[in-house]
Amino acid sequence: MSTDRLTTFVCRSPTFKGYLDVLAAVEKEIFGDLMGALEKQRELDAGTRGDTTEELQEELDRVTVLHEEY
């Protein structure tokens, strides 16, 4: 996401208003996470994803840690 697009996103999202520097610092990580989520959703939609309980728990733990960090 370019800085201009990021600025537009921040201005339209009241939750992120005033945090442009924080979002810019983690832009690549956010973009990577979104692309990963999109890939997983496509697999789910196609019926080709079969996560084990352990894989789902690992993903939940990872997201929980990220949520607590931010």
Which pLDDT value is given to residue 10? 57
Which pLDDT value is given to residue 56? 83
Using alpha carbons only, give the angle 28, 55, 26 rounded to the nearest 5 degrees.
Answer: 15
Q: Are 18 and 11 in contact (CB under 8 A)?
A: no
Which pLDDT value is given to residue 32? 86
As a whole number, the mean pLDDT across the chain is 77
Taking 50 as the pLDDT cut, the residues of the chain under it are 1
Which pLDDT value is given to residue 6? 60
Q: What are the Cα distances from residue 5, in Å, to 20, 24, 44, 58, 61?
A: 11, 11, 29, 32, 30
| CB count in 10 Å sphere of residue 39 | 11
Which pLDDT value is given to residue 4? 59
Which pLDDT value is given to residue 8? 61
Side-chain half-sphere of 58: how many Cα atoms within 13 Å?
5
- Structural domain count of the chain: 1
Which pLDDT value is given to residue 62? 85
Write out the residue range of the structural domain in which residue 34 sits: 3-69
